[in-house]
Structure 1
Amino acid sequence: MNQASQYLLALAKRNIQAYIANPEAKAAMVTGSTATGQADIYSDVEMFIYYDELPNLDKLQSARQQNQGSEPIRILNGYNEGFFGEFYFIDGVQFQIGNVTIAFWEQDIATILEKLKVTSTLQKALSGMLDCIPLYGEMLIQEWKRQIANYPDALARAMVDKHLDFFPIWALQEHLATRDTTLFQHQIRLQVGQNILGVLAGLNRLYYSTFQFKRMKQFIEQMNIAPENLYMRLESLYHQEPLSVADQLKELVAETVELVELYMPDIDTSQVRKSLARQGYIWKPVSEENK
């Protein structure tokens, strides 16, 4: 753990006390770069406190004031549903405090593990739980970690099924180059890259969300199943003109499909194979006499 992470963790341990003093609080943790030991001077502190029932808003305001926190710069108000979030500053550091009922959080876990909502940003939350450092109620947090670490086969398949969809930009290079499609080209390149990672996340049983996706290298380094030199190849795609990398995207998609066929042979890859074989075309007017 680097020095910045140690400093932020010490702040988190100090400032969590005002929240866990509430008898309804059953567990608390810090997540994000503070927990993974990768924080820097730009990092914030992400903390969650879990309750049987949420304290009233006056008590949450009192906890913030006890910590000499600033006025909130952002509030996520789902109080009646079971969560209340505040973003505020303490000693110049932004704290993102999530107050959540145990019932609400366990519903979130079920949304991914049982309902298989593969595109939900909650995948980021589950990944954050795996990385977190418990600050209070460690037994409860370790039980959640155990559940989340048991990545369901059905979720892995659903991830691959959902993301196995690639727009064949490689077949439309000349077409797109003749039109005002700059934004569309960037959109396609981004979507193809995100879907490659989504498929590989399923194959490797990793939680993945495109929401605020950071530290791609670290994410890819967790993969045992991936195209060779994936990080450098994928990273380089976004430092070149979109159409110039179409063939490189095609290669990565083809290698990803091969991995799906190897590790999940029951997945239907026929449509992706058709898109990989697709070629560009143009039409020419046909006169009546040539019909």
Structure 2
Amino acid sequence: MNTHTRWRLEIAKILTKKLALYPEVRAIVVGGSAARNYADGYSDLELFLYWDKEPSNIIKQDISTLLKAEHRYPKTHFAYHNALIINGFQVDMWHKTASVEEANIAIVVDEGSTDLDASNIVDTMRFCVPMHGREFIKSWKDRVEKYPPGLTERFFKEYLPHFHLRHILLESKRENPTVFYNMLSNIQCSLFIILLALNKSYFPTYKWIYKRLNELSLRPEKIEIRLQNMYKETPEIAVEQLRDLLAETLTLIEAHYPDYDTTSARQELIQPMPKLYEPVLSSKTENPRKSQRGNCS
């Protein structure tokens, strides 16, 4: 556990002693970067409170008063009661009902959904640190620990078509870095989703892409630095480096899921570099329509 994570968890313990006084609170957990041991010097603290029923704004304001918290946003903002400053430190406090969280977990665990928002909720539950109501949280943790059967293949089906290089190859030849690097980022993010699925890992959000990739056992060698270096290269070089990473990922899929057909994805990777076309009509070429009119006169 790194130092940034450690002292954030200590703050969570102090806050939990006060928050646990509310009898309607079934459980309190730490989520976010502190739960995953990803915290750095800029990280806030995310606390999730699970209630029997949705607390009123009056109760939420009472909590803010109890914790001597300041609000980061005006009352008209949707996150007014969630985004707090306590002793100069940013704390995000999320209020959820147990029934809603149960439904969110079921979307992934029981229904096998590829919805990334739902997957992030399950990832948070897998890594969260219980502060209060440990037995209550344990039942959810046990449910999300086993990756749903067939979910990996569903992610393959949805995201492997994004391994499509024709358009980014074209943009690598044009002076439009905004479009090129947007395409590059999108394909890298889809690659991340594929590798998560291959490793039976849920979605932690894209902001932790490099930290999570570093934890995966099945991944192309040195993938984090290779992804980052693409933004330092010329577009032509970057797209070839991307092609190599995608091909290596397909090789991993073929090794661990030999029955999954990657033929189409492979085909997308062998797209040639764009051809520079020369004019196909010269000024001396006779206009066929004009010629026909002349023949009829």
Give me the TM-score of the superposition, normalised by structure 2: 0.84
| Match runs of 1:1-291 below 5 Å | 1-73=1-73, 76=78, 86-166=82-162, 168-169=164-165, 173=169, 175-208=170-203, 211-214=205-208, 216=210, 218-279=211-272, 280-283=274-277, 285=280
Deviations 1:75-103, CA, capped at 9 Å, x for gaps? 547xxxxxx96111001111100110011
Q: CA deviation at 1:115?
A: 3.4
> Structure 2: any 5+ residue segments left out of the alignment?
288-297
How many correspondences in the alignment?
280
Secondary structure, counterpart of 2:70 in structure 1: coil
User: CA 1:269–1:119 in 2, change beyond 3 Å: closer, same or farther?
Assistant: same
Pair 1:110–1:76, CA change in 2 (3 A):
farther
Secondary structure of the equivalent of 1:200? helix
* 3-state SS of 2:113 partner: coil
RMSD: 2.5
- Whether the 8 Å CA contact 1:161–1:267 is kept in 2: the answer is no
Q: Which moved more, 1:238-247 or 1:129-138?
A: 238-247
**Structure 1 residues 170-211: Cα deviation after superposition (integer angstroms, max 9, x where no partner):** 7864x43553422110011111211111111111101125x4
Superposed displacement of residue 168, structure 1:
4.2
Q: Which runs of 5+ in 1 are unaligned?
A: 78-83
Aligned-residue offset at 1:41:
3.1
Aligned 8 A contact 2:20 2:132 in 1: yes
Name the TM-score, length of structure 1 as normaliser: 0.86
Deviation at 1:167, TM superposition (A): 5.2
Q: Is contact 2:122-2:202 (8 Å) kept?
A: yes
Kept in 1, the 8 Å contact 2:47–2:93? The answer is yes
Q: Secondary structure at the match of 2:161?
A: coil
Identity %: 24
